[in-house]
Structure 1
């Protein structure tokens, strides 16, 4: 199944262990995709260039290039085409420019969350989530195989762009779970806007009727979204969870052993990725599991190949 054709994996080449390589190799093999493994070495600050020995920067780059070559040689034993590169510059910008140059359709990033349990997503992760034009898969130190995939959608979306994004999220979640023989949970978090105010102006029976009407509309929207699937594999279940998405999604992930959360990040294409959706950002601040984040159709990254770093 060719979900992806050219995968970019960003690692810290000097780490002792690289479980993310095995995950990326497995995905590339199942998709018949090419894999490029990169590491980013930031440019030395001008002040540091004045007092550090000149060969130091070259040695730093060469050591990472050599280690990447060793890792690639081992990875090629699986039969997958594997390339490597050492990128220079600001990490997020360098990664996005490499994507634009080489036409990658997925970026996976493994480092920056080395704690056990993993901490929140770091600054480079956040920049990629805002600005990267292709799906971003942020994984933790254990690089768990995605056997239980959670597709987070807004079943009540009226905007056509967001409706298409919902379908993209569900389709991709199902495709990835199918590769692993796993399952998908399609989740929508719903709430009643202004419920406390309504409570003070309505009888209990009237408010209950409003709440049930909103819940039923959310259920119908979720069912209609699932009905758009071309195939009914893998096993898919629907979950309507009452509450704010930033509260109930992390709680659901922790309670149901979710391996991968698939969700959208930028809801408006006109902002060119400078601003991430507020709800998405609050969710990501609280998630500790792997995340695969998608952008809507028409998203334009503010990073350009011909612009200064």
Structure 2
């Protein structure tokens, strides 16, 4: 098994299915596939198998530890379709972030031995600080405050804040239209980005994207916003909400690393440069997020190009 899980996750998406006609879908057309079916189309195995192996890498405390264990432990999501989605029955983890972790393991070890550990967005810094995990690849936005606690390799992807509303909503077209409205979001970077762009918005805080979208569906919020990486898969499984074309702000994703081994950060940045240069990054996108958005792969961001990286 390529990924071994420390904690068995529940089958969140097994209960998600499309209902009714999708937005802009012709009458009589087949409904959107269920979330589990969409997740089943995402498989980065062949990309990881063809990924590069690092040559003549310098020894660092973290790299030595990882090689001694024979595996790379990482904090990652279990329920973000397209980026990191766990199938609890098979233990298979699929998506862009999952692929980044697997490719890094192969680059460091010669084989993609990556172990998903338990841990949420509120515990990543502590887990890295006490070396419970080796890295965090979890739609992890680089910020200067976070960079005081952890090192960031990257950025490896530039997300933006997206907006989801009911399909029937014809008045909300961009961020400024959220002024004075109740907007479902998560604490931290997502809420901060919302209030920076729309100071008069009224954040309604939830723990997960699924809870946010449910609030919109049930009328407890008029819209929701998270980084668009968290929204692609959610919207792909729904017919009563839509993701607007308009985005705001910037969410540069980085690989979180322990603060006490700066040389390891250079090794991981070297890995990112390698997969960008040889086309692996683009192939990974096409095999994962590209299955959801059906648009050409974006250009990878320049390593070290944002504050905190």
Bucket of the pairwise TM-score, normalised by the shorter protein: under 0.3
Q: For CA contacts below 8 A with separation 6 or more, give which structure has more relative contact order.
A: 2
| Larger of the two Rg values belongs to structure | 1
More helix by share: 1
Q: TM-score, normalised by structure 2?
A: 0.27
